[in-house]
Amino acid sequence: MVELAARLAGIVGERRVMLRAGELRTYESDGLPGYRSTPSLAVFPGTRDETIAVVKALAASHTSFVARGAGTGLSGGALADNVVLLGLHRLKRIVAIDGDNARAVVEPGVVNALLTAAASAYGLHYAPDPSSQSACTIGGNVAENAGGPHCLKYGVTLNHVIALTVLLPDGEVVTLGNPDGESEGYDLLGAFVGSEGCFGVVLDATIRLERNPQAVRTLLADFASVDGAAHAVSDIIAAGIVAAAMEMMDNAAIQVVEASIYAAGYPVDAAAILLIELDGAAAGLDDDVARVAQFCKAAGARAVRVAADPADRARLWQGRKKAFGAMGRVSPHLVVQDAVVPRTRLPQVLADIHHIGVRHGVNVCNVFHAGDGNLHPNIGYDANDADEAARVHAAMGEIMQVCIDAGGTITGEHGVGLDKLPYMDSLFTPDTLGAMCALRSVFDPERRANPGKVVPVHRCREWLAAPAARAGHPR
Amino acid sequence: MSRGAGVTTPCAIPGTPLADARAGLDACVHCGSCLQACPTYLVLEDENDSPRGRLDLMRALVDGILPTSDPDVRSHIDRCLGCRACEPACPSGVPYGHLLEATRATLTAERPNPFIVRLILFAFARPALLHAAMFGGRVTRALRLSRLLARLPGRIGFAMAMLESTRSPLPHRTYQPRSDGSRGAVAVLQGCVMEGLFAETNRATSRTLAANDFSIVEAPGQRCCGALHAHAGDIDTARTLARANIIAFERSGAEVIAVNAAGCGAIMKEYGVLLADDAAWRDRATVFAARVRDITELLASAGPRLGAPVPVTVTYDAPCHLLHAQHIASPPLRVLAAVPGLVLMPLAESEHCCGSAGIYNPVEPETSERVLEPKLRHIAATGAALVATGNPGCLMQIGAGLHQARMSARAIHPVDLLDASYAAERS
């Protein structure tokens, strides 16, 4: 390892290779600090050429590595367990913005919100807006196929990536997708986006930007019951109204946000609130606002108000986006899930989650993308209390099972990473998992990129034993 | 891979200031909201030089994962500006400034501060020595030696440029404002550097207060505020100075204490926390702290009254200890808005630290300079003739940067501009 460190230091400079415990500490976890893994070393290239040289050096010594952006992921996906951590946050150049064609070319370390800030001069924005957008990077967004409140209308990361220049784990540079049109052959870009760092790393991404809408209305609906809010969501969607975003927060989440520096003026006695955004052409928008308000009231909303001005709107959104971080106010540790259920099943699933929480004596707090049926149950707890920790993990397991039984899945936008590995078996057959392993081998036949994530290794045991024989014969 | 659940870790450093503050560490859930707010993370591009990284290191000390002698812990904690820009970015409300001071106090007990830090702290705690040093500074400035020596490279050159920049960019003013005293009695903190090198601004502070119907009372016996000592981990000296100031200002009979140095105001508003463990002083300190106001807060509460036109383009840079520590954003702008003819140009990233950070500049010159670079670039883009900012450290850091970059803009305290506006009424 010392020899490898010296070789890497020759590429990126000594300061950018870290080996000592005191240097590696913060790189041992991402946005889900319940997990910790110590990398064998961490390396931080500052340019594209350095990145290529580093990955080639790792390939030459058959060394496994894990790519990491800003370390804000919520599935343990960027944890390196005794392998090399490849930090890409220093590659933060916005290479070009083409206002006329609403496109940008960015390096992987560009922070999501900074891309929107740069695009705003052209009347454009980058639509996928994960709550961590003030810190998370585009490279990480591509790896996780990140979502966000506004993906309800505008689509997720995949819908905003036109092409990628990708560095495969063996050091080869390839282009996926075609900046000038539809690419020939299989959609490898579609396979790469959301591959959670197992297929390689992004060197640059050609991004589709969205025009800023002519008009925006943000509604805050105050419900006396979670069930009422859930029904309002189903009714609005069933009526064919395409909202830009439809977010729900329950009382526990409201309380946490209102106690924080991001207090947004949510009603603290509401059982749930919906934050609904409508945007588009100004003509007819207020008719939709009236219809949405009508649906909310019919489902039992006590009050519906429309944000008065852009500052008010920003405040309502900041409260929602900082809700996860604000959980630290109530408890030292946190688990957060990312299940998706069919939207029509929301009322029942939320009721089941509530009962699971009560039965295990844990406080489940919900703040989520209701319009997508993408749930984020959070449970705050004290990890030093072994009994409480055990109850939290039991409750989380049951919650995931309820979601799967409702016809849902285990991740909407956070990725599988490490955290959701145990649930993969409940969702996929061994054949399907084997097919995933085979797809990966197209990009990373040595399986050195982000080892141990996404697909449970034991499912690939036979495949691991004889990779060559199985190539082309996915099980 | 380990799952951080199950075992209760006993504190590895019981009885230390950091151990006492450890509850604040638990609020951090590692969400990363602080990263882009942190000037050292942005320029050094290492998460160890971010709030999240430093909190991880603090937790590692408490949990015994890393010893207090660990050189990496030391260097990353040392490299923190203490600007507290992470606090308003933190959804969980991690008391970062407090944790940083507790960590520095814990590390200092293990290994003393560098010589230059100890020298500066020693001088600021001793009035005679401080006065002599400030006198020396004024003589150097008056003889224009500072202008000459500012051409030297490195620390000495920059220090001399700092000194040179303290020369007021506005003409000397001497008017006698009329006050009906209806807004109550105010005592002004004279401050070490403010009275030593920015005496003109101190006079302007009193005059603008009087012009807005405050009455000024003297508070003899006041000392250094102790901010530099607290930030560097010398909590005991900070407490001694705090007690002396509480006595002096209580004796003055002032209802309110006005402070024109953001760094001093921030610590004085926290005297209650600083002396929280001292049963004899806790309540007095809390009452005292509640009476401290930044000068721009006081002036803004009075309007302030409009003066005569001063045609000049100005941009405003927020001192970290005003914006992030005291949460004062608009009062300085209201003071500038009371100057007719003053054109305010918006400054990009005005909420970012300039790299001054108390005595950070002499201790970490390289990082300080890198943090200053983008600030100077943004100032140049405004085209403003003056950069207004209400803290001596920021005035000198930005002033020296402008001087060494041979830019024509000068740094100035907002109060000086209002004072010039009032003085112009009489000319």
CA distance A139 to A124: 20
* CA angle, A181 then A182 then A187, to 5°: 140
Tokens representing B127?
């009035």
Would the pLDDT of A430 be above 50? yes
Q: What is the distance in angstroms between the Cα of B90 and the nearest Cα belonging to chain A? A: 7
Domain that holds residue B315: 306-424
Q: What is the distance in angstroms between the Cα of B9 and the nearest Cα belonging to chain A? A: 8
A258-280 CB burial, b ≥16 within 10 A, e <16: bebbbebebbeebbbbbbbbbbb
Can you give the pLDDT at residue B1?
44
Q: Name the amino acid, one letter, at A9.
A: A
Q: Phi/psi at A177 (nearest 5 deg)?
A: 80, 175
Identify the residue with better confidence: A333 or B35: B35
Residue B126, in any domain of the structure = no
Identify the residue with better confidence: A215 or A326: A215
Residue B249, in any domain of the structure = no
Can you give the pLDDT at residue A172?
98
B24 touching chain A per CB within 8 A: no
Q: Which of A27, A134, A325 lies closest to B47 in CB terms?
A: A27
B31 touching chain A per CB within 8 A: yes
HSE-up (13 A, CA, CB side) for residue B154? 1
Q: What is the distance in angstroms between the Cα of B272 and the nearest Cα belonging to chain A? A: 22
> Residue A306's closest CA among A283, A278, A281, A280?
A278
**8 A C-beta contact, residue B395 and residue B413:** yes
Task: Indicate the number of domains in chain B.
Answer: 2
Tokens representing A246?
């439809």
Residue in A with minimal Cα distance to B50: A26
Q: Cβ of B33 and A325 within 8 Å? A: yes
Residue B235, in any domain of the structure = no
Residue B327, in any domain of the structure = yes
Q: Cβ of A22 and B46 within 8 Å? A: no
Residue B111's H or E segment, with its range, is none
B3 touching chain A per CB within 8 A: yes
Q: Name, in order, each residue with C-beta under 8 angstroms of A95's C-beta and a sequence gap of 6 or more.
A: A104, A105, A106, A107, A204
B92 touching chain A per CB within 8 A: yes
B26 touching chain A per CB within 8 A: yes
**8 A C-beta contact, residue B189 and residue B222:** yes
Cα-atom radius of gyration of chain A, to the nearest Å?
A: 22
Can you give the pLDDT at residue B70?
95
Can you give the pLDDT at residue A474?
32
CA distance A368 to A399: 15
Give all domains of chain A, ordered by start, each with its CATH number.
2-87 (3.30.43.10), 94-211 (3.30.465.10), 214-328 (3.30.70.2190), 428-470 (no CATH)
Q: Name, in order, each residue with C-beta under 8 angstroms of A227's C-beta and a sequence gap of 6 or more.
A: A347, A350, A351
Q: What is the distance in angstroms between the Cα of B235 and the nearest Cα belonging to chain A? A: 26
Q: Cβ of B7 and A389 within 8 Å? A: no
Can you give the pLDDT at residue A469?
36
Contacts of A29 in chain B (CB under 8 A): 30, 56
| Least-confidence region, from A14-23, A212-221, A404-413 | A404-413
Q: Cβ of A329 and B93 within 8 Å? A: yes
Q: What is the distance in angstroms between the Cα of B33 and the nearest Cα belonging to chain A? A: 6
Can you give the pLDDT at residue A32?
85
Domain boundary among B110, B130, B160: B110
Residue B188, in any domain of the structure = no
Helix ranges (DSSP H) in A41-176: 48-60, 112-119, 138-144, 151-154
Would the pLDDT of A338 be above 50? yes
A263 touching chain B per CB within 8 A: no
Q: Which of A260, A328, A389 lies closest to B28 in CB terms?
A: A328
> Residue B59's closest CA among A31, A332, A19, A78?
A332
Residue B86, in any domain of the structure = yes
DSSP letters, B288-321, are HHTTEEEHHHHHHHT-PPP-----EEEEE---HH
Residue in A with minimal Cα distance to B95: A329
Would the pLDDT of A205 be above 60? yes
Residue with tokens 């760094």: B263
Helix and strand element counts for chain A (H, E): 18, 19
Q: Cβ of B72 and A23 within 8 Å? A: yes
State the average pLDDT over residues A298-307.
97
Per-residue pLDDT of A1-23, as tens digits, reads 889 999 999 999 999 999 999 99
Q: What is the distance in angstroms between the Cα of A183 and the nearest Cα belonging to chain B? A: 36
CATH of residue B86's domain is 1.10.1060.10
Tell me the pLDDT band of A459, cut-offs 50, 70 and 90: low
Domain boundary among B95, B110, B125: B110
Residue in A with minimal Cα distance to B43: A90
CA A272 vs CA A149, A230, A243, A370, B294: distances in Å: 17, 9, 19, 12, 41
**At what angle are helices B154-164 and B392-404 packed, to 10 degrees?**
110
Residue B151's H or E segment, with its range, is none
> Residue B348's closest CA among B314, B312, B375, B384?
B375
Contacts of A22 in chain B (CB under 8 A): 48, 57, 60, 66, 70-73, 76
Q: Cβ of B93 and A27 within 8 Å? A: no
Residue in A with minimal Cα distance to B3: A35
Q: What is the distance in angstroms between the Cα of A34 and the nearest Cα belonging to chain B? A: 5
Bond into B39 cis (ω within 30)? no
CA distance B341 to B389: 19
Mutate one of A14, A23, A453 to test the B interface: name it (highest B CB count within 10 A): A23
A45 touching chain B per CB within 8 A: no
Can you give the pLDDT at residue A470?
38
CA distance B299 to B338: 10
**8 A C-beta contact, residue B235 and residue B101:** yes
Residue with tokens 């852009």: A310
Residue B205, in any domain of the structure = no
A114 touching chain B per CB within 8 A: yes
Q: Name, in order, each residue with C-beta under 8 angstroms of B51's C-beta and a sequence gap of 6 or more.
A: B34, B35, B37, B38, B41, B86, B90, B94, B96
Q: What is the distance in angstroms between the Cα of A328 and the nearest Cα belonging to chain B? A: 4
Q: Cβ of A389 and B8 within 8 Å? A: no
Mutate one of B7, B8, B33, B48 to test the A interface: name it (highest A CB count within 10 A): B33
Global confidence as pTM? 0.92
Does residue A264 sit in helix, strand or coil? coil
Would the pLDDT of A466 be above 60? no
CATH of residue B371's domain is 3.40.50
Can you give the pLDDT at residue B2?
46
Q: Cβ of A389 and B5 within 8 Å? A: yes
CA A207 vs CA A70, A113, A120, A194, A412: distances in Å: 19, 14, 14, 15, 21
Q: What is the distance in angstroms between the Cα of A146 and the nearest Cα belonging to chain B? A: 16
Contacts of A324 in chain B (CB under 8 A): 29, 31, 91
pLDDT per residue rounded down to tens, chain B (427 residues): 444 433 456 899 999 999 999 999 989 989 999 999 999 999 999 999 999 999 999 999 999 999 999 999 999 999 999 999 999 999 999 999 999 999 999 999 888 888 989 999 999 999 999 999 999 999 999 999 999 999 998 889 999 999 999 999 999 999 999 999 999 999 999 999 999 999 999 999 999 999 999 999 999 999 999 999 999 999 999 999 999 999 999 999 999 999 999 999 999 999 999 999 999 999 999 999 999 999 999 999 999 999 999 999 999 999 999 999 999 999 999 999 999 999 999 999 999 999 998 889 888 999 999 999 999 999 999 999 999 999 999 999 999 999 999 999 999 999 999 999 999 998 7
Residue B390: alpha-carbon gap to chain centroid: 9
Can you give the pLDDT at residue A333?
82
Q: Phi/psi at B316 (nearest 5 deg)?
A: -115, 130
Residue B376, in any domain of the structure = yes
Taking every pair of Cα atoms in chain A, the longest distance, rounded to a whole number of angstroms, is: 69
Q: Cβ of B6 and A383 within 8 Å? A: yes
Domain boundary among B110, B136, B160: B110
**At what angle are helices A2-12 and A48-60 packed, to 10 degrees?**
160
